Structure 1
Amino acid sequence: MQDGMKIAQEEIFGPVQSIFKFNDLNEVIKRANASQYGLAAGVFTNNLDTANTLTRALRAGTVWVNCFDIFDAAIPFGGYKMSGIGREKGIDSLKNYLQVKAVVTALKNPAWL
């Protein structure tokens, strides 16, 4: 029963990246993106270049910079990889309910012909 409880807890809470020493940002990016999950990430730094590099490189649906667990109804929420399909909230959530259609109609005497 203990093993079943452990698996259930891991599925609910997902993986957590511990704090490790690193030599460069490429090592951080590689380690973080090696996870099969990608719901959210948090970056804490005083360097704007570091923040920009990591927010572009991390494969996560949400990347918080110098904050964590901040939500707004206008900000799309959803993950990458095994952390979900689609987006909730914001304009992106409407895409789940829409289907794009192209309609082409021949004109009798089009101006460009």
Structure 2
Amino acid sequence: MQAIFQLGNTAMSTGRTVYLAGLGVAATVTSEYKKVFDQMVEKGKETKDPAETVAEKVNGQGVVSRIKDMGDQVGNKVQDSVSYTFSRMGIPTRQEIQDLTRSVEQLTEKVQALQA
């Protein structure tokens, strides 16, 4: 029976030690992470932006203009998709609204001319 109590006490002691070590790790990480984070920010400020470096290297090869063209093409496709979706939902486009406004203005002018 004494051995069981001794085993229990040893397990409790070991558990407490592991628990305290875990708390120590958490406290250390908490106190050190800000220092490490600030160091990383400073190193980041010292280094050049990778996107800028790549753009500088390939600029002479016309890659930047091709990327811009691809971006324009993607933008156009997205705009076409949105326009198609709006059309299917019955939402008029900007051009349709402008055309309708122009027609109403012309009709208003004609009605005013007839009234005069």
Fold match by TM threshold 0.5:
no
When normalised by structure 1's length, the TM-score is 0.22
| Structure richer in helix, relative to its length | 2
Task: Please report the TM-score for the alignment, with normalisation by the length of structure 2.
Answer: 0.22
**Higher strand residue share:** 1
Higher relative contact order (CA 8 A, sep 6+): 1
